């Protein structure tokens, strides 16, 4: 292992990790919003929207991100829709992530007793209030593990951004590997970089899940 | 102009070439699913073993798989093994190795989850009724585990199929690569790229969607019973 080589290229990997993290988080943020909207459309059986959401979820969950990215980045421009690499990255990750997040939210919402929603309605809460104060807090507690698993999944999926010619971790490593021939060092740094990115997320997940379990919503005593 | 693009897809053997490319990824996926299922069951048993060392070993394996993007693992094996051990593995072999390494751990974890989710009283009642250990496994635990495991295992299979698209990144000539060859060949007709990628997208969807539907249906039917 050539530590001198590693030392002189640490900053390249830091820059790559920043690209990975930044666009990963944009994607995660947008996925959460899109996922929640799709999930609510289906939960409240909003006409038309629920079918659109359902179709979208099936489409996104059953195709690889790599193919989605190629379609966005190399296919669409040929019929006149030009998007920057960064836009493709966020759109692609959101397209994929929204479907997964929606399923996670749905499992959470479905675990909330129907009587909760009805009680909220009886008390005269508007639909928005009902979602905000009654349904979501309970659903989130159940959905948290799945949501965190999705966050880790999505950040890992950003490794495909290199096909968009973005200088993310994967592309930094690839460039260094092909130019310098120090394959082992480069791969070692790649592994370390992904660990450094994902370990905190995983720890945060464990911590949050433990806190939520303390919060307990009555029905969890049996677990 | 755009009609021209789509007609090129069906010109000559272009569509057959795409299908052959798709078969390359599917073949990798099928072999991977087979290996992952067989080894995954062993992995699951190992995860529940009494030996702390065995459990620790599984834990590390599972964490590696959870933390590392599959693409990174592919690079490690395809480029790294050549450097470290002088093994020049072919792209397809590397892919099967990596995806099986990943699939085994995931399948094992699903198996463990399914088995441990069966309430303890099932085993105890069977024992109280005088069933032997083998009978308990055969008639009580196995059927219930299978019902919980199968939908999730099928879902894992679609994930494996989707992940095999990655082999393009280690120079395996699969459907995306073939698509790019066709695009290069008909570069005078730019819209062909749109149709090629749309077709590949649709191909994956048409393979994975029915499988997902099956998993969903089994899940609802068996969870009711």
Which pLDDT score is estimated for A219? Answer: 47
Q: Where are the domains positioned within chain A?
A: 3-215
CATH number of A3-215: 1.10.3720.10
Q: Which of B84, B121, B166, B193 should one mutate to test binding to chain A, selecting the residue with the greatest count of A CBs within 10 A?
A: B193
Does residue B188 sit in helix, strand or coil?
A: coil
Is it the case that residue B216 has pLDDT exceeding 60? Answer: yes
**How many C-beta atoms surround the C-beta of residue A194 within 10 A?**
22
| Cβ <8 Å between A199 and B67 | yes
Which pLDDT score is estimated for B6? Answer: 79
- Pure H helices in chain A: 3-43, 49-61, 65-70, 85-111, 114-122, 127-129, 136-157, 169-180, 183-215
Mean pLDDT of chain B: 90
> Could you give the CA distance from residue A55 to residue A109 in angstroms, rounded to a whole number?
20
Tokens for A81? 């829709």
Q: What is the mean pLDDT of residues A8-15?
A: 89
Residue B98 sits in a domain of what CATH number? 1.10.3720.10
**How many C-beta atoms surround the C-beta of residue B177 within 10 A?**
15
Tokens for B92? 């397809």
| Chain A residues 120-179 with a CB less than 8 Å from chain B | 152, 156-160, 163, 170, 173, 177
**How many C-beta atoms surround the C-beta of residue B16 within 10 A?**
10
Please check whether residue A123 is in contact with residue A53, taking contact to mean a CB–CB distance below 8 angstroms: no
Q: Which domain holds residue B160?
A: 2-224
Q: Which residues in chain A are contacts of B70 at CB distance < 8 A?
A: 156, 159
Number of structural domains (chain B) is 1
Q: Which residue has the tokens 């929204």?
A: A98
Query: Of B69, B84, B196, which is closest to A156 when you measure between CB atoms?
Result: B69
> Could you give the CA distance from residue B57 to residue B39 in angstroms, rounded to a whole number?
15
In degrees rounded to 5, what are phi and psi of residue A210? -65, -45
| Cβ <8 Å between B69 and A159 | yes
Which pLDDT score is estimated for A223? Answer: 34
Is it the case that residue A222 has pLDDT exceeding 60? Answer: no
> Whole-model pTM?
0.88
């Amino acid at each position: 292992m050539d530590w001198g080589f590693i030392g002189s290229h640490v900053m390249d990997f830091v820059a790559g990790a920043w690209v990975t993290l930044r666009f990963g988080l944009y994607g995660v943020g947008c996925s959460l919003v899109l996922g929640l909207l799709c999930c609510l459309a289906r939960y409240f059986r909003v006409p038309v929207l629920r079918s659109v959401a359902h179709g979208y979820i099936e489409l996104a969950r059953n195709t690889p991100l790599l193919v989605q990215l190629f379609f966005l980045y190399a296919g669409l421009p040929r019929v006149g829709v030009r998007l920057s690499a960064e836009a493709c990255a966020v759109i692609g990750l959101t397209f994929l992530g929204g479907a997964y997040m929606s399923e996670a939210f749905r499992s959470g919402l479905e675990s909330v007793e129907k009587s909760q929603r009805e009680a909220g309605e009886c008390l005269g809460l508007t639909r928005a209030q009902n979602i905000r104060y009654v349904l979501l807090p309970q659903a989130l507690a159940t959905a948290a593990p799945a949501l965190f698993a999705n966050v880790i999944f999505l950040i890992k999926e950003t490794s495909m951004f290199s096909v968009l010619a973005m200088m993310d971790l994967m592309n930094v490593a690839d460039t260094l590997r092909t130019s310098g021939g120090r394959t082992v060092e480069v791969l070692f740094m790649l592994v370390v970089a992904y660990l450094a990115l994902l370990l905190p997320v995983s720890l945060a997940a464990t911590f949050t899940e433990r806190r939520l379990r303390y919060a307990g919503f009555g029905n969890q005593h049996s677990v | 102009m755009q009609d021209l693009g789509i007609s090129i897809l069906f010109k000559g053997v272009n569509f057959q070439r795409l299908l052959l490319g798709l078969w390359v990824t599917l073949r990798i996926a099928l072999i991977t699913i087979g290996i992952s299922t067989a080894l995954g069951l062993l992995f699951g048993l190992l995860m529940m073993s009494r030996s702390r060392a065995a459990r620790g070993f599984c834990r590390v394996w599972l964490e590696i798989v959870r933390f590392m993007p599959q693409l990174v693992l592919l690079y490690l094996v395809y480029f790294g093994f050549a450097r470290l051990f002088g093994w020049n593995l072919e792209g397809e072999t590397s892919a099967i190795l990596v995806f099986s390494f990943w699939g085994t751990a995931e399948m094992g974890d699903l198996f463990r989850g399914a088995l441990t989710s069966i309430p303890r009283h099932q085993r105890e009642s069977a024992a109280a009724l005088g069933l032997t250990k083998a009978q308990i496994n055969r008639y009580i635990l196995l059927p219930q585990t299978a019902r919980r495991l199968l939908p999730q295992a099928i879902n894992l299979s679609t994930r494996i199929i989707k992940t095999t698209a990655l082999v393009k990144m280690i120079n395996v000539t699969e459907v995306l690569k073939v698509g790019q060859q066709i695009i290069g060949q008909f570069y005078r007709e730019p819209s062909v790229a749109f149709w090629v990628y749309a077709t590949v997208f649709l191909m994956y969807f048409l393979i994975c969607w029915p499988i997902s539907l099956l998993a969903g249906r089994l899940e609802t039917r068996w969870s009711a019973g």
